[in-house]
DNA sequence: CGTCTGTTTGATAGCGCTCAAAGGGGGTGG
DNA sequence: CCACCCCCTTTGAGCGCTATCAAACAGACG
């Protein structure tokens, strides 16, 4: 169960400030958000929002990883994105959430009432602008993912996935050629349109060919980035 | 080759006004857009924008159908969307177009300079708001398409595609249970992550089972909508 | 140490791709 | 106006990739 915090000064102490939407506000105005937001902590497996549920709130992730997924009647699942620090749930103006959001790791996030936020956006056009940029960026990523899902082989999918994770880590300031995968092989499969077994076999295959090396199941070192880039874009 | 028109009053005569972004402007202000826009006509196969090209312009489609696609090095193509009346190309703030846009039929569209439009948006917040809504809607559609591409069988994909086309026609005021498919089987395949042959076989199969009937290759009557809905959502 | 969950490896089958050819409809030229 | 041609679509045969079913393995936790 997610647990709400009562800390009255969480915003000023927030470590995600520089990458979140509140980045668009002046320091002295952050206390406006403070009064409108609730800080929540969730454990692995906790549900943040359910698909189809009325979209009353906007959530801003400040720590951890969240997966967004949609289900088919036959139980097949498609993960449509993994969110991390600074990412938003519920920014689209739809009346209902179009996906379920579930914590992959321990997660901290801020909850805002969407109705109240609309007022704030009126006073801080830069925030609305920033949300539009985030949405546009997600659209672009979604279209790239459509290319992956529709036209790439299992190995190409895994290579693309590893590279996009590495690029994301680089954007957030990380160096090196090694990445952490907090989600399970099953989750990776549901994101790439594959089964657990095929994901596992592809990892093994890439390892055998010298493209990557594994340290446990969740830490991956990209040994041959150029080779992976070639694979990911269709040889 | 696309051909620019010199008609100085195209906006006031525009039949797409009610579904385009200019809907957000008062009648007396439309002449502002008039002076900033160029009306262009393109023939089937003409390219509107190339993937990777510098994104200088915003395009608003007023007639016809456009396909957006991305290419892999091995020649595989993924169509990420079909656009029609009222849809926009280049609304995301990215520096370069992330896809190629090509006319599927004869197409009319308006060209705006993005830099100039940014000024207009400052004066007409409702337009910016409307673009955000359109982008958010496209994101939602893209995520639905991810579910389709990653987790549906060929028949389920075709059923989903036909239903989404029918819903779109209904939103634009069309009645009945019949739709027009201006794009080729090959295009449909590249949208659904299938080959031409599999698309054709799936149409035949749905016809044989009584879900649809065909009039020529481009007109489809949905004989059993409930059955198709069940199929599309995973039996 | 035992259990439980997640991962890897193995064997088999099926869906959709590839290669191939026939069928059909629209446009053009005679 | 008709015939031909070209391209798109449909149908057919066979194969390969990935899903499915199954079991061994490994790591975390009590």
Q: Which residues of chain B neighbour A198 with C-beta distances below 8 Å? A: none
- Contact indicator for A84, A138 with CB cutoff of 8 Å: no
- Contact indicator for A86, A19 with CB cutoff of 8 Å: yes
Q: Which residue of A has its CA nearest to B75?
A: A234
Give A12 or A130, the one with higher predicted confidence.
A130
Among A222, A182, A163, CA closest to A82: A182
Look at residue B6 and tell me whether its pLDDT is greater than 70.
Answer: no
Tell whether B217 lies on the interface with A, counting CB pairs under 8 A. Answer: no
Q: Which positions of chain C lie under 7 Å from any protein Cβ?
A: 6-11, 15-20, 25-26
* Residue B9: predicted pLDDT: 65
Answer yes or no: do A147 and B70 touch at CB < 8 A.
Answer: yes
d(CA B227, CA B135): 31
pLDDT category of residue B34 using cuts at 50, 70 and 90: confident
Model confidence pLDDT, tens digit, residues A108-155: 999 999 999 999 988 888 888 889 999 999 999 999 999 999 999 999
d(CA B109, CA B87): 10
Give A174 or B187, the one with higher predicted confidence.
B187
Q: How far is the CA of B64 from the C1' of D27 (A)?
A: 58
pTM above 0.75, yes or no: yes
- Contact indicator for A10, A109 with CB cutoff of 8 Å: no
Model confidence pLDDT, tens digit, residues A54-79: 999 999 999 999 999 999 999 999 99
d(CA B75, CA A144): 16
Look at residue B7 and tell me whether its pLDDT is greater than 80.
Answer: no
Tell whether B73 lies on the interface with A, counting CB pairs under 8 A. Answer: yes
Q: Choose the mutation target among A138, A151, A231 for the interface with B, i.e. most B CBs under 10 Å.
A: A151
Mean pLDDT of B186-191: 98
Q: Which two tokens stand for residue A19?
A: 């990458």
Tell whether B43 lies on the interface with A, counting CB pairs under 8 A. Answer: no
Q: What torsion do the CA atoms of B208, B209, B212, B215 make, to the nearest 10 degrees?
A: 10
């Amino acid at each position: 169960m997610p647990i709400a915090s009562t800390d009255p000064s969480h915003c000023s102490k927030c470590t995600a400030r520089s990458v979140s939407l509140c980045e668009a506000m002046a320091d002295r105005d952050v206390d406006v958000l403070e009064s409108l937001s609730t800080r929540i902590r969730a454990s692995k497996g906790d549900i943040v929002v359910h698909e189809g549920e009325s979209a009353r709130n906007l959530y801003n992730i400040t720590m951890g990883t969240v997966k967004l997924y949609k289900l088919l009647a036959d139980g097949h699942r498609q993960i449509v994105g993994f969110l991390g620090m600074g990412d938003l749930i519920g920014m689209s103006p739809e009346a209902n959430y179009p996906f379920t959001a579930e914590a992959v790791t321990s997660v901290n996030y801020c909850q805002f009432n969407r109705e109240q936020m609309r007022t704030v956006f009126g006073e801080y056009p830069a925030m609305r602008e920033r949300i539009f940029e985030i949405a546009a960026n997600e659209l672009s990523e979604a279209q790239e993912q459509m290319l992956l899902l529709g036209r790439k082989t299992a190995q190409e999918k895994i290579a693309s996935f590893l590279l996009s994770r590495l690029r994301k880590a680089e954007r957030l300031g990380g160096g090196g050629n090694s990445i952490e995968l907090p989600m399970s092989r099953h989750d990776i499969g549901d994101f790439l349109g594959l089964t657990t077994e095929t994901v596992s076999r592809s990892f093994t295959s890439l390892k055998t060919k010298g493209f990557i090396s594994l340290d446990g199941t969740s830490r991956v070192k990209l040994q041959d980035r150029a080779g992976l880039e070639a694979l990911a874009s269709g040889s």
